[in-house]
Structure 1
């Protein structure tokens, strides 16, 4: 609860500052309010004009973004259809993954997304990266940008670019589609770059020989002695040990029924336990005749092997589901998104390594997720507007333009229902 007092102070300061600005109509040209959210904007948007000389490149880039949206939109619609079908056929029990709050990309509200510096930084950067894509392509396609700025609610929660509505209304076809697709292209490009950098850095991680206890066998010596875990073994019978091999060497001199003293460090405290060793369980089939403590070690070699296997398209998919921990065998990946004691059980090349890893992961993950979600063919998402422009271009020349709004509306509602179905249906099935 150490964070509670600073958070309360920050909220009070923000409320006071916002109230003073609002009551006295201060900085009216640059600050507006949407409820409790403060928008700080500027009409000095010459930054976006700097990209006009590279018009050819950015038009190719924007076109590539539109193609990505079309592919992702089709693929995600198919996956939503299959997920809805499977949900209707299997009638699953509600799970943590299907809790309504877990569809929201809000740190601390979504149970899989922690409220950390890395996550909030990634969230703000993602929105800025998305909006700047729209701003750059606006100028490339001759659409004026009226203003740009930040949205604040105690902390920055996003960014925005405000195009000139008249220019936007006059723009049609591929120029407008490229403008909508640029934000998604930016998100996916930045996300993939961050994941590549992340994988390269994870290739520097090495196994640690430290004897880390991560579990105990029920009804065996360590269980009976109430040995804490996770913990690090530092001494056996008063002799210092620094690796699993050294622990095994000392235990090899024992036999079932012998008593040993075990010194471990857990949560920064040194703890000593007396264990009466037992025989090895038959199911382990080791053939050992020495005494058995009944502990399981942290397998840092396996963790490093899992991290090394991320260099593949399949590895990219594993990164996308790393926070969810829904695929058996990927539980070791939690060292990537989360700050946990397990991060200390691996050898890393420099101080602050895991902070860099967490930041790269969340910037990459949130950018890719926002890019994929915005590609869905549903208004008011970018994918929905691209669908509308595409249909206008296709149907107008054939005299069917009057049906475009109805088609887009129908598709949008269908996609929304398919998003909600796997989340809500399990609760309806098991009322």
Structure 2
């Protein structure tokens, strides 16, 4: 039933992706196919801009590449530790939310706490991918490595972008140049996330706050098997009271709940409904209470409910969601590309480092073993939570 409910809930989004897939199939002669499900539409768009940018800001880009190297290897260690922690969590805290999930704009993957809104997340994904691939291209151009093609890539119905440098000339470069190029994409994603976060914190959020007053809290999901779901507590509804105490802000909510212990009675209510239940033990800290509500947000009410204010706030709210998803996707793609596996950026950095340190043959064998282990771990972390959620 869970799978059928998933299909029904996402029917229009699934239809959109099926239409995209049909367009690719109908125009298949214009695409180059790899591994049967990856379709590349090759162009020269952006190559002149990359060259001009590299020529104009060469020294800045060179420093950017050096910084990217250091951050890239640190990020590789971080994402590796995250994967190890994910396996531990999956084995010893099976009720905890998934630590890794596929990302499809508009679709909430079973077992994942994330529910990406379609347009905001697909626009954010496009921006993030263009920045990522463009950074590879600009650093390649700095070191006089030709860009053969740019273009759009479809992984089945999912859209992305690519930059194709001349691999033969890239292979002849020094390790520093290779690492600079490989790490440029992930590092640009980290910088993009930081810049967008600053815009959100310094401009969007203050503008929103100046127009509104907090009126309660809401959440988009309850976890099955936990007290909130068992009590019938409804998501996407505004609540303004916990245990009879008025709650208007997220800060007030967290202050009220931070000392909650397991097996403690909780009542969450608003003017129209009240839900009471007993807390469970937190799956990540058994000494603390747990409700099982996810994606908590503060609800805001306009101070002056005029047509202009409603329109302005709607635009700001949309930008807020877009910026939030740019941050999430940018960090996600940046770190995912630093995984020490296969052909992704982190894997290529590791391969270069190992073959230099251990020799070409021994280094390649070590890289292959690490890649195989990494792929197995990722497959487990991706699909076990999905299977558990479906069955």
TM-score by length of 2: 0.66
Choose 1 or 2 for highest CA Rg.
1
Q: 1:96: Cα distance to partner?
A: 4.6
Corresponding residue for residue 415 of structure 1: 374
* TM alignment of 1:180-195, pairs within 5 A: 180-195=182-197
Contact 2:215 2:299 in 1 (8 A): no
| Shift in Å, 1:401 | 3.3
For residues 379 and 170 of structure 1, what CA distance do their matches in structure 2 show? 20
Where in structure 2 are there 5+ consecutive unaligned residues? 1-7, 220-235, 256-283
RMSD: 4.4
- Given the alignment of the two structures, is residue 368 of structure 1 paired with residue 331 of structure 2, yes or no? yes
2:152 to 146, 150, 160: 150
Who is 1:80 aligned against?
83
Supply the distance in 2 between the matched residues of 1:115 and 1:109 (Cα, whole angstroms): 9
Q: Which 5+ residue runs of structure 1 have no aligned equivalent?
A: 216-228, 234-243, 245-282, 285-294, 307-325, 336-341
Matched with 2:226 is none
Contact in 1 for aligned 2:33/2:40 (Cα 8 Å): yes
Query: What secondary structure does 2:76 align onto?
Result: helix
SS at match of 1:103: coil
Q: 1:127, 1:158 within 8 Å by CA — same for their partners in 2? A: yes
Q: What corresponds to 1:42 in structure 2?
A: 43
User: Residues 15-26 of structure 1 correspond to what in structure 2 (within 5 A)?
Assistant: 15=22, 19=26, 21-22=27-28
Call closer, same or farther: CA 1:173–1:209 in 2, change over 3 Å: closer
Aligned length: 319
Q: Deviations over 1:291-346 (max 9, x none)?
A: xxxx665513737999xxxxxxxxxxxxxxxxxxx9979979643xxxxxx64446
1:158 match: secondary structure: strand
CA distance in 2, matches of 1:83, 1:37: 28
Q: Deviations over 1:339-377 (max 9, x none)?
A: xxx644466984211101000010111001111111122
Q: Does 1:171 align with 2:173?
A: yes
Whole-angstrom distance in 2 between the partners of 1:207 and 1:330: 31
Q: TM-score, normalised by structure 1?
A: 0.61
Shift of the 354–334 alpha-carbon distance from structure 1 to 2, 3 Å rule, reads: farther
Change (3 A) 1:329 1:51: farther
Q: Say if 1:65 and 1:181, in contact at 8 Å, map to a contact too.
A: yes
SS across alignment from 1:51? helix
Partner secondary structure for residue 48 of structure 1: helix
SS at match of 2:140: helix
Shift in CA distance, 375/299, structure 1 to aligned 2, threshold 3 Å: same
Map 1:101-140 → 2, pairs under 5 A: 103-107=101-105, 108-110=107-109, 111=112, 112-140=114-142
* Per-residue deviation, residues 19-65 of structure 1 (Å, max 9, x unmatched): 2x44xx5xx5xx44565765332235222211232222212111111
1:404 equivalent to 2:363? Answer yes
Aligned twin of 2:205? 202
Q: Distance in 2 between matches of 1:64 and 1:106?
A: 31
Describe the superposition over 1:59-91 as per-residue Cα deviations: whole angstroms up to 9, x where unpaired. Answer: 211111111111111233234334445655x3x
Label 1:93 to 1:231 Cα distance change in 2 as closer, same or farther (>3 A): closer
Structure 1 Cα separation of the partners of residues 334 and 350 of structure 2: 16
1:65 counterpart = 2:68: yes
Report the equivalent of 1:219: none
Query: Do 1:207 and 1:301's aligned partners in 2 also have CA atoms closer than 8 Å?
Result: no
CA displacement 1:252-305 (0-9 Å, x = unmatched): xxxxxxxxxxxxxxxxxxxxxxxxxxxxxxx97xxxxxxxxxx66551373799
CA shift in 2, pair 1:51/1:392, >3 Å? farther
